[in-house]
Amino acid sequence: MAARLSLNDVNLHFGGVKVLQEVGFEVEPGSILGLVGPNGAGKTSLFNCISGHYQPSSGSITIDGTEAIRRSPAHLARLGLSRTFQHPALQLRATVLENVLLGGHIRLPGGPLEWALGLPRTARAEREIRAEALAMLDGAGLGWAAGLPADELSHGLHKGIELWRALLSRPSLLLLDEPAAGLSHGEVEQLITTVKQVRDERDITIIVVEHHMGLISALTDRVVVLDHGRKLMEGTAAEAQSDPRVIEAYIGKDAADDAA
């Protein structure tokens, strides 16, 4: 079931540098939210706070009412959170299937000792997860690549591998960090279709950090715009693109005044 994500007055300070300041918003279950803003706005830092890679200085982040701050990425994965990264973090010498299977690790029963012993319930779970991974690759048209080393595939396919790896954990909340970076126009169009299909078929809440405004406009239900670590506005992508504050943040006040 899709998760509800709530942020309230999230602050992140590194020494005297205020990276995030009083950021708050809510993401409805089953919706797709775009997190946008100019370079240095704090988007990736906020993603890292949500996913447990950074610990905010103060504030609250809850997933379905459970506080996420001070919890490890592994613990948050058990709460249903999964994410991709701007630069796909793949094991390039491992096969495509082996990379996708890493996403199912969180679903294995027991612990390291039971996994090492290969007990029956662990073996059953491994077989089920492997079959699901293969089915996902087949459904994505990547079944032919399952046994190939990941480094033999293109950057665009690396993005796809990372997405299916994230989905193998069966998340209720999925964070996509610049999924369109480096993709061709055709690959971006396919990405939009895939993400919408994933949201509808798997009942997932999705948050996307992205500079590609065409993708944001076509994909998201709402957007949150950050600038210098603060929330600048929240609304639809069309509202954001016509908001003078957003235009000024992206192109500068003088240029915005000239455009007006």
In this structure, are 237 and 126 located in the same domain? no
**pLDDT at res. 258:** 44
Quote the CA–CA distance of 116 and 106 in Å, as a whole number: 15
Quote the CA–CA distance of 151 and 98 in Å, as a whole number: 13
In this structure, are 68 and 195 located in the same domain? yes
Residue whose C-alpha is closest to residue 38's, from 181, 256, 235, 252:
252
In this structure, are 124 and 253 located in the same domain? no
Query: What pTM does this model have?
Result: 0.90
**pLDDT at res. 233:** 94
**pLDDT at res. 177:** 92
The tens digit of pLDDT for each residue in 132-175 reads 999 999 998 899 999 999 999 988 889 889 999 999 999 999 99
30 part of a folded domain? yes
In this structure, are 73 and 94 located in the same domain? no
In the chain, how long is the greatest CA-to-CA distance?
70
Is the pLDDT score of 213 beyond 60? yes
Average pLDDT over residues 97-111: 86
In this structure, are 222 and 104 located in the same domain? no
Confidence of residue 83 (pLDDT cuts 50, 70, 90): very high
Residue with tokens 């890493």: 102
In this structure, are 123 and 228 located in the same domain? no
In this structure, are 95 and 224 located in the same domain? no
In this structure, are 179 and 243 located in the same domain? yes
Phi, psi of 192 (to 5 degrees): -60, -45
Domain holding 69, by residue range, is: 5-80+171-259
Residue type present at position 123: A
3-state secondary structure of 132: helix
Query: What's the CATH code of the domain at 182?
Result: 3.40.50.300
Q: Which of 159, 181, 209 is the last residue of a domain?
A: 159
DSSP string, 147-196: TSBGGGS-HHHHHHHHHHHHHHT--SEEEEESTTTT--HHHHHHHHHHHH
Is the pLDDT score of 254 beyond 60? no
Average pLDDT over residues 63-83: 93
For residue 81, give Cα distances in angstroms to 9, 175, 189. 21, 8, 25
Cβ contacts of 32 within 8 Å, gap of 6 or more: 195, 196, 199, 205, 206, 207, 208, 219, 220, 221
Domain count for the chain, please give it: 2
85 part of a folded domain? no
The tens digit of pLDDT for each residue in 28-54 reads 999 999 999 998 899 999 999 999 999
